[in-house]
Amino acid sequence: MYDSKTVTDIMPPSAIPLGRRQPAGLLSNAEKDRLIERAFLGLYRWYTARSQETRNWNPDKSFDWRKLAQDWPSEITTAVQGFFAVEQYAPDYTSELVNLVRRSHGRSHFQLRWGSEEEKHADAWENAVLFSRQRSPQWIAEYKERLRSQQWTLPFPDAITNLVYTVFQERATQLNYLNLMKIAQGKSDRPHLADVKDPVLAQVAQVIAVDEAAHYNFFLEGVRLYLYYYPQRTLEAIKTVISGFAMPSSHLVPDWDKFAETVYRAGIYGPRDFSRDVMQVVFRQLGIEGRKQLEDGIKRTREVPTFDNDGTQQTAIWNSFDYGLVEGDVKRLHAKIEKFETEVGFSELDPTEFVENPEVPTKRRDD
């Protein structure tokens, strides 16, 4: 069992004294944690309602499995089998992450909901492998047993870095599925895949990719909250994650290298896709200019004395990302939560409110 060392990452609201609503001075870590926790809770409630209203599909009944193509080239089978393998670890991902954030209502309940969506992905990809007739039911059963004999564990020891990792992972997964969808729609620019046409497979990939986009957005909003209230720690976590990013359970899935090679050659996913369509996209949405700027920014903050004891941020940190953009996004998130809470009636009893971080400079220093 894992227990986070950084208590502030997962402080439950009940353990945090209710501070003043309008801070006169700086926010204490306890106040920041309460604000992050409340936003997560509001976002989770909004997410669940939306998930049930718009993405309530079923892996068995939402697709016409009998119409799935039965003449896939072996590269498509390898790719889909790999997706099936990665999603097969949904119970491990869920239990590890729930345990990590178990003291947080919004985050732990969200991970259960998230897990229930990932579980559908595992079943849908398995159906795809089965109905393609490219693997026998016996083979699938043995493969699953082999996968499940291994256990996935958290890639990082703390909650913030795992949260950041999940943002990159969800985006990368979404990209994999969207690129497979394009191939199944007959849009591949690779000669060996140009003849593939499988509308059912395209639909499966698309439906799952929409879920992955929703996951990505939830975790992205979470990272924005941390970046706004704890920029230094969050930027460090981003640097850690991008320095050695690998897809989840790539170390557990048999023949991973063959899978990686196949999706690379098929134009589904490779190092360039990660850099251009994952890392750059996440950076843009977090107001980070690029990898070099991130690394330089962190280096600069390490060169000046720290003021950790009185809770203030180092000034240099505010120059290393576009905090104005992040603040705008955090405000927009609160407006979305407020709208939802007004609809339900929570707003009359216990509204989620945005509180400015007074450490954030009102004007960029280099302007």
Residues making contact with Fe ion (CB under 5 A): 118, 121, 170, 212, 215
Q: How far is the CB of 360 from Fe ion (least distance, A)?
A: 31
Alpha-carbon span 67 to 128, nearest angstrom = 11
Return the number of the residue (215 or 224) whose C-beta is nearest Fe ion.
215
Three-class secondary structure of residue 250 per DSSP:
coil
Return the number of the residue (59 or 297) whose C-beta is nearest Fe ion.
59
**DSSP 3-state helix, strand, coil percentages of the chain (rounded to 5)?**
65, 0, 35
| Gyration radius from the chain CA atoms | 22
Return the number of the residue (116 or 342) whose C-beta is nearest Fe ion.
116
Q: How far is the CB of 70 from Fe ion (least distance, A)?
A: 25
Alpha-carbon span 349 to 341, nearest angstrom = 10
Q: How far is the CB of 115 from Fe ion (least distance, A)?
A: 10
Q: Which value, to the nearest 10 degrees, does the dihedral of the CA atoms of residues 13, 19, 20, 26 take?
A: -110
Alpha-carbon span 304 to 234, nearest angstrom = 18
Q: How far is the CB of 90 from Fe ion (least distance, A)?
A: 7
Contact 313, 358 (CB under 8 A): no
Return the number of the residue (4 or 249) whose C-beta is nearest Fe ion.
249
Q: How far is the CB of 215 from Fe ion (least distance, A)?
A: 4
Alpha-carbon span 161 to 181, nearest angstrom = 30
Q: How far is the CB of 120 from Fe ion (least distance, A)?
A: 8
Return the number of the residue (154 or 316) whose C-beta is nearest Fe ion.
154
Please enumerate in sequence order all residues whose Cβ is within 8 A of that of 347, keeping only pairs 6 or more positions apart, or say none.
Answer: 338, 341
Return the number of the residue (16 or 247) whose C-beta is nearest Fe ion.
247
Please enumerate in sequence order all residues whose Cβ is within 8 A of that of 52, keeping only pairs 6 or more positions apart, or say none.
Answer: none
Q: How far is the CB of 205 from Fe ion (least distance, A)?
A: 11
> What is each CA distance from 178 to 203, 257, 258, in whole angstroms?
10, 21, 20
Return the number of the residue (124 or 326) whose C-beta is nearest Fe ion.
124
Alpha-carbon span 199 to 64, nearest angstrom = 10
Contact 238, 164 (CB under 8 A): yes
Q: How far is the CB of 18 from Fe ion (least distance, A)?
A: 34
Return the number of the residue (39 or 97) whose C-beta is nearest Fe ion.
97
